[in-house]
Structure 1
Amino acid sequence: MSERVAPLYCPYCAGEDLRPHEAQPAGADQGPAVHGAWECRSCTRVFTVTFVGLVVRHQ
């Protein structure tokens, strides 16, 4: 798999109307620039999905 999979639903409202959120340039009035964000058209939230790591389970 070479490309990342797009989220299927919003983690806040479970809405399915998601669009890529266009990165805004960093500025004092807009906050830091965010890349790879998604916007939910149902609840108007903008979120990112982050991979944290793998869990090693010892048996």
Structure 2
Amino acid sequence: MSERAAPFYCPYCGDEDIRPDGEHHGQWRCGACTRVWTLKYVGLGRPSLDQEVAR
């Protein structure tokens, strides 16, 4: 099994100076804009009904 993927840039300002932050897994801090956010994998989604009809 491979390591968990990490984000490459801040979703707010686009800067690449991000680091893990906080006590819980998935919390990140941007060094440029100082925002802190949580990254969480939810899962795979099912195709919507519109996409199934288009096939």
TM-score > 0.5, shorter chain as reference = yes
Partner of 2:21: 21
**Any gaps of 5 or more consecutive residues in structure 2?**
none
Aligned length: 48
Secondary structure of residue in 1 paired with 2:19: strand
More strand by share: 2
For the aligned residues, what is the CA RMSD? 1.5
Per-residue deviation, 1:45: 0.7
Unaligned 5+ segments in structure 1 are 24-34
Using structure 2 for the length normalisation, give the TM-score: 0.71
Identity, in percent, stands at: 54
Greater RCO, 1 or 2 (C-alpha within 8 Å, sep 6+): 1
Q: Normalized per residue, which structure has more helix?
A: 2
Which residue in the other structure is 1:40 paired with? 30
Which of these two proteins has the greater Rg computed from alpha carbons? 2
Give the 4+ runs in structure 1 shifted more than 6 A: none
Cα offset for 1:49?
1.0
